[in-house]
Structure 1
Amino acid sequence: MKKILVPTDFSVQAENALKVAAQLAKKHKCEIYLLHILEIPMRQVDPMSSYTSLPEAVYFMKLAHKQFEELRANSYLKNIKIHEHVEFQEIFKGVFHVCKKHDIDLVIMGSNGADGLREMLVGSNTEKVVRTSETPVMVIKNEHKTFKTKNFVFASDFKEESLGAFKKAMTFAEIFGSKIHLLMVNTPIDFMTTAEAEDRIQNFIKPFKLSNVSIHIYSDMTVERGIMNFCKSIDADLIGMSTHGRQGISHFFNGSISEDLANHAKRPVITFKI
């Protein structure tokens, strides 16, 4: 891992993500790419001119540069190589463009979701990036003065289509020095016996030489509650899961999330596109 992209609107939530990126950058000697999106209405653009010729664009470009300078002055970014980018398009398109152009290894984004894991990742700019990004995306909800990755839970149904996402998750677990906990949540709606679940997981991981890995089958009323309750039981530092592109992460969840689970969604989540 050498390059981390942090989209920013200069909010507290975006800075929480940047602080995590800074800790990882220092530990793994990475460069940070800061991305700010300026959404200029297309109707204001002369077809014969560029975005940067618009008075509004010039003003907001200068403002963004000033805000970048203020960010870079923070002590937590000292001795980190920082790149600045401004894009005139929707955030998920801007993220895709910068990731492709600069071969980004990880996107780290802030979120102010307050109603559990579903709201943290669905129905927002963060969800759009999670849904479309070919690059792994880590979602940070709160400030982490010390970002830990000791216990990394990879939640999956362990079907063949998730193999690619699992390979990426294992790569990051190795980079982070994490113990990875493979988690399958068993629910009344989609029930299988423990023996069947263990057999599926063992067949899934058979091609890999794994170390520092544990296997867990956890029963709960819904998948999301199972993930949250299991992560609480082991004090997980990071939750990993796969996404299905246009279906987004919401395909993974059914039912509502109660208020008590919302507090446990504060854990960072990293997603890998199938």
Structure 2
Amino acid sequence: MKKIMVTTDLSSNSKSAIRMAIRLAKLRNSSLSVLQVCHIPKPYSWTQIAFEKFLKKSMNKLTSELSSFVYKICRSMGLEPFKFRSVVINSLEVVSTIIDYAEKEKFEYILIATRGAGIVKKLFGTHTSELLSISKIPVISVPSSYRYRPIKTIIYATDMENFEEELPGIIDFAAPVNASIQMLSITQSFEGINNPKETEMHLVKKFNFQINFVQVNRNIVNSLIEDIHLSIKTKPNSMLALYSHHDRSGFEKLLFPSNAEQYSFYSKIPIIVFNKIH
């Protein structure tokens, strides 16, 4: 059975990701695990035996609280009791713990909420940014203010490199949620494809899927990330899909598609970030 994982810190900000994870699990007929990473330090004066006893009791309590938190969200959505797995892991390293657990359990997708801050510098040190940067498993970033609506369009923003190898991953996500794909190519005016309609017909025929190819010329006044934002902000019931390089460090270059980390924090719609295919 396919599996989805969502992370939470039991805050209100994390509820949007849990709501979306529940919807996706139902649509994809996948199992759902809800993960909380916490840290319970060992008091210096305690023996290891005493601490392990305390830790076990604490973890059981936290797991119960996590289950209750998710059940309340299910009830608020008007859903019947939904089967899920509550997982609490004691660790200082939040991001590496999330990734290690996700890879070990072979999850298809990781969901995490973001607060939607619009200042790029706020990205540094955040769990969402780190996950988007290094995870080999697709990460879905859900703004905390997002209210789930049926996804009708997956906006696939591409630099036109390896797009035929990347599209199957987008289609695999889009098909179970009954969404079409809008392939958004933002290029310089002299770099565009000569016949976009012909490209669209080729893709529809090859992949047997509804794909709308849209070519948008770059505005040199804007950053690349602004052009993406301006191109999709009026589209309702949408979700943005990106393939992100994991071999580039820092945010000094807003070159597509390594801008996935920046975009997530002022997005009004969820984004799904895949590992770049080389």
TM range (shorter): 0.7 to 0.9
- TM-score, structure 2 as length reference: 0.77
* 2:112 matches 1:109: yes
CA RMSD of aligned residues (A): 3.8
In structure 2, list runs of 5 or more residues that go unmatched.
Answer: none
Which residue does the alignment assign to 1:186? 187
Q: Decide whether aligned partners of structure 1 residues 147 and 37 sit closer, same or farther in structure 2, where only a CA change above 3 A counts.
A: same
Matched-pair contact (CA < 8 Å) for 1:19–1:144:
no
Is the 8 Å Cα contact of residues 151 and 237 (structure 1) preserved in structure 2? Answer: yes
**C-alpha distance in 2, partners of 1:242/1:147?**
23
Spell out the pairing of 1:31-110 with structure 2 (5 A cutoff).
Answer: 31-39=31-39, 53=52, 55=54, 57-58=55-56, 60-74=58-72, 75=75, 76=77, 78-89=80-91, 90-110=93-113
- Mark the CA change 1:226 to 1:40 in structure 2 (over 3 Å): closer, same or farther: same
Identity score, percent: 17
Matches of 2:214 and 2:51 in 1, distance apart? Answer: 53
Which residue of the partner structure matches residue 215 of structure 1? 213
Aligned length: 260
Q: Output one character per residue of 1:54-86: Cα deviation in whole Å (capped at 9) or x when no partner.
A: 74x446424422321321432146332211212
Deviations 1:91-120 (A, max 9, x none): 22222222223221111111113216x578
The residue correspondences of 1:120-159 to structure 2 (distance < 5 A) are: 123-159=125-161
> Greater helix share, 1 or 2?
1
Cα gap change, 1:19 to 1:101, in 2 (>3 Å): same
Distance in 2 (CA, whole Å) between partners of 1:209 and 1:194 is 22
1:249/1:241 CA distance change after superposition, 3 Å: farther
* Counterpart contact for 1:153–1:239, Cα < 8 Å: yes
- What is the CA–CA distance in structure 2 between the aligned matches of 1:171 and 1:101, rounded to whole Å? 22
The normalised TM-score by structure 1 is: 0.78
Whole-Å separation in 2 of the counterparts to 1:251 and 1:215: 30
Instruction: Report the equivalent of 1:20.
Output: 20
* Distance in 2 between residues matched to 1:121 and 1:207, nearest whole Å: 40
CA distance in 2, matches of 1:138, 1:100: 16
Q: 1:95 to 1:115 in 2, by over 3 A?
A: same
- Sort the Cα spacing of 1:263 and 1:272 in 2 relative to 1 into closer, same or farther, 3 A: closer
Equivalent residue letter for 2:110: V
| 1:43 positional shift | 10
